Amino acid sequence: MNMKKQNAMRIIFASFFKSGFKAKRTRAFILLSLIPVVLMLIMRIMETAGSLAANASADFFAKVMLILYFQLLIPVLALFFGSTIVNDELDNKTLVYLTTVPVRRRSILLGKYLAAFLQAALLVGCGFLLSFLAASLTRLDEAAAWEELAVFLGTSLLALFCYSALFTAAGAFMKKSILIGLFFVFGWESVVQYFPGVTQKFTIIHWVKSLLPVPPGEGGFLIFQLQPSPALESVAMLLGAGLLFLFLAVFIFQRKEYILSDNA
Amino acid sequence: MTAVLQAEKLSKWYGNILGISDINLEIGSGITGLLGPNGAGKSTFLKIAAGQLKPKIGSLTIFGEEIFGNHRLFRRIGFCPEHDSAYMEMSGWEFIMLLSRLHGFARNRAEEISEKALVTVGLLESKDREIKGYSFGMRQRLRLASSILHEPEMLMLDEPLRGVDPLWRIKIMQLIKDYGKQGRTVIISSHILPEIETMTSEIVLIHQGKIFAKGDIHRIRGLIDSHPHQVSIRCREPRQLAQKLIDSDFVLSIDFGMDGHSLTVRTNQRDLFFTALIRLIAETGLKIDEITSPDDNLQAVFDYLIGK
């Protein structure tokens, strides 16, 4: 028996992807991710009924939904899915089962990360798709609308990848990482992006916003002291930072001693 | 004896709390009981042996290799943890299959060994139920199944009989004895002496993080039996009962409780005392509300041995 590490990772991914959807927390997040869809549908119905001005749905999407997704839903989902990859194993004292089988610790972490990332991506992707369709109902025959959707979805995935890798590393390093994560999302990320100079480049949200197809000024939340960074540089930064955080998570998880007892 | 497990100057503490201290130990094939009161350091020792904790000082090797971070060794080792933990959203089958697959077995073979392990612990009929619907005893048996499914050369069991019903207790003890007879190495921890005594005569006594004694259980038993036991009895007529007992050779002293409804007897022959007490109750019809033996726990035995 010589288990290849990809096999172990695949087995862990498949098992936790499936069981993750049975968790109460995931079900709660499914409901949370449907809130923007419901809001968007209400806007669309009101616009169709003539209660709102033409293009009100599209405006609402650009001004409110993008904030909701990129500054709230994606970081929060990434925080909860990422930081609980290790923390759940510690809280439920189940880590011992995965660390007493002949499998490298990095395969355990990466398998669980992929499962969590895909779960979060499905929640965000489905919600975003439905919201976008509701907002762009009148221009679905335009190629530009679909291009816009592709960029939005791609940016969502990149943001999710980077944030969840960061929070996975934080979860592997400390037990109560959610509090620190909330401070990062609602403190650092929200405030520093408005700082002048290059400071805002130390946030993930700066690189995410730089990729969004809505030009600054049209989308109300895209207020930049600095011009958006070039798209290619932003993609490279998000991918690079995500990979670096993942490497850090693996490095910590392989070496750290986790104490599953009241003595901890 | 060829040592399968070797610990040298092994120490571990959590902040200011001592786990184990300066343990030197060699364990070979067969069953070894790790005996000690709660908090003695048994679990800490087993967690280091199972690669879950790093030693602060000293080393521990299994099959000649360091265990922490050495995932390959787990092909040869099975570990049953003390915690009542499991992936509650999974079914028993999903849980065991996950571990079988992670042990490197192909799907068909994994199904075979998973089924065999669940049959061994009597959970095959409940395999499709979610683990959160299992009783404590069922989860304990599931943990045991997870540790034996790959038929390891070495099995480490941390309080494996806790919460298991009497029928399964006997079956599990037999399973462990069979493992020992096959020449495998089994280390089993418990704070209940008779439990260990049923399975093995080779014991390691741990107390306050240190190995207090190691060797044949009968020698320890002899020491324990020779030490006076106290038996407390709650009854309606303690003076009448005392009158009947005081003439017996094996009764050293009798003290009456302040409540007027209890007495404490000190005896140097525990078994003879209980035989006589039962006969007395049957003959006289004296009403006894409760019999307790404050001595009859491992902590008292250790206190006695340390004092000695």
Lowest mean pLDDT across A1-15, A141-155, B98-112, B119-133: A1-15
**Cα–Cα separations (whole angstroms), residue A236 to A82, A162, B55:** 21, 11, 42
CB contact under 8 A, B104 and A2: yes
- Is the confidence at residue A54, as pLDDT, over 80? no
Average pLDDT over residues A111-135: 92
The alpha carbon of residue B269 is apart from the nearest alpha carbon of chain A, in Å, by: 40
Average pLDDT over residues B58-72: 93
Higher pLDDT, A168 or A63: A168
Residue B100 pLDDT level (bands cut at 50, 70, 90) = very high
Residue A140 pLDDT level (bands cut at 50, 70, 90) = confident
Average pLDDT over residues B140-164: 93
The alpha carbon of residue B74 is apart from the nearest alpha carbon of chain A, in Å, by: 5
Residue A8 contacts B where some CB pair is shorter than 8 Å? yes
Q: How far is CA B182 from the centre of its chain?
A: 21
**Tens of pLDDT, residues A143-193:** 888 888 899 899 999 999 999 999 999 999 998 899 999 999 998 888 887
Residue A96 contacts B where some CB pair is shorter than 8 Å? yes
**Closest listed residue to residue B259, CA positions, set B235, B242, B231:** B235
Q: What is the mean pLDDT of chain A?
A: 86
Average pLDDT over residues B138-154: 95
- Is the confidence at residue A18, as pLDDT, over 70? yes
Q: Name the pTM for this structure.
A: 0.83
ipTM over 0.90: no
CB contact under 8 A, A264 and B71: no
Find, in chain A, the residue whose alpha carbon is nearest to that of B67.
A100
- Is the confidence at residue A88, as pLDDT, over 80? yes
Q: Which of A5, A101, A110 to mutate to test the interface with B (most CBs of B within 10 A)?
A: A101
**B57-70 in b/e burial notation, b at 16+ Cβ within 10 A?**
ebebbbbeeebbee
| Run of H or E residues at B292 | strand B288-292
Residue A104 contacts B where some CB pair is shorter than 8 Å? yes
Q: Looking at beta carbons, which residues of chain A come within 8 Å of B105?
A: 1
Q: Which of B12, B47, B52, B56 to mutate to test the interface with A (most CBs of A within 10 A)?
A: B52
What helix, strand, coil percent values describe chain A, rounded to 5? 75, 0, 25
Residue B79 contacts A where some CB pair is shorter than 8 Å? yes
Q: Which pLDDT value is given to residue B134? A: 94
Residue A6 pLDDT level (bands cut at 50, 70, 90) = low
Let me know: does A102 contact A24? Beta carbons within 8 Å.
no
CB contact under 8 A, A98 and B79: no
Average pLDDT over residues B239-244: 89
Average pLDDT over residues A210-230: 62
Higher pLDDT, A78 or A141: A78
Q: Which pLDDT value is given to residue A227? A: 66
Q: Which pLDDT value is given to residue A263? A: 45
**Tens of pLDDT, residues B186-195:** 999 988 777 8
Q: Which pLDDT value is given to residue B301? A: 64
What helix, strand, coil percent values describe chain B, rounded to 5? 40, 30, 30
Let me know: does B187 contact B155? Beta carbons within 8 Å.
yes
**Tens of pLDDT, residues B50-61:** 999 999 999 999
Find, in chain A, the residue whose alpha carbon is nearest to that of B156.
A100
Q: Which pLDDT value is given to residue B142? A: 96
Q: Which pLDDT value is given to residue B124? A: 94
The alpha carbon of residue B161 is apart from the nearest alpha carbon of chain A, in Å, by: 19
The alpha carbon of residue B103 is apart from the nearest alpha carbon of chain A, in Å, by: 6
CA distance B66 to B63: 9
Let me know: does B79 contact B154? Beta carbons within 8 Å.
no
Which one-letter amino acid corresponds to residue A198? Answer: V
| B64 φ, ψ (degrees, to nearest 5) | 80, 5
Residue B244 pLDDT level (bands cut at 50, 70, 90) = confident
Q: Which pLDDT value is given to residue A217? A: 45
Average pLDDT over residues A71-84: 93
Q: Which residues of B, range 96-135, sit inside 8 Å of A by Cβ?
A: 98-99, 101-105
CB contact under 8 A, A92 and B87: yes
Find, in chain B, the residue whose alpha carbon is nearest to that of A100.
B74
Average pLDDT over residues A103-128: 95
**Tens of pLDDT, residues B250-297:** 888 899 988 888 999 988 777 788 888 888 888 888 888 887 776 655
Residue B53 contacts A where some CB pair is shorter than 8 Å? yes
Find, in chain A, the residue whose alpha carbon is nearest to that of B155.
A100
Q: Which pLDDT value is given to residue A114? A: 97
Average pLDDT over residues B52-79: 94
Select from A22, A93, A96 the Cβ nearest to the Cβ of B89: A22
Q: Which pLDDT value is given to residue A259? A: 85
CB contact under 8 A, B77 and A100: yes
Q: What own/partner pairs with CB < 8 Å and gap ≥ 24 does B205-208 have?
A: B205/B35, B205/B36, B205/B302, B205/B305, B206/B20, B206/B34, B206/B35, B206/B36, B206/B40, B206/B41, B206/B42, B206/B45, B207/B36, B207/B37, B207/B40, B207/B302, B207/B306, B208/B18, B208/B40, B208/B41
Residue B175 pLDDT level (bands cut at 50, 70, 90) = very high
Residue A227 contacts B where some CB pair is shorter than 8 Å? no
The alpha carbon of residue A27 is apart from the nearest alpha carbon of chain B, in Å, by: 13
With pLDDT > 90 as the criterion, what percentage of chain A qualifies? 48
Average pLDDT over residues B63-83: 93
Residue A264 pLDDT level (bands cut at 50, 70, 90) = very low
Q: Which pLDDT value is given to residue B139? A: 95
Select from A18, A105, A257 the Cβ nearest to the Cβ of B54: A257
The pair of structure tokens assigned to A225 is 């002291």
Q: Which pLDDT value is given to residue B222? A: 65
The pair of structure tokens assigned to A135 is 């907002």
Find, in chain A, the residue whose alpha carbon is nearest to that of B149.
A101
Q: Which pLDDT value is given to residue B158? A: 93
Q: Which pLDDT value is given to residue A162? A: 97
| Run of H or E residues at A125 | helix A105-135
**Tens of pLDDT, residues B220-240:** 766 666 667 788 888 888 998
- Is the confidence at residue A216, as pLDDT, over 60? no
CB contact under 8 A, A92 and B50: no
Q: What is the mean pLDDT of chain B?
A: 88
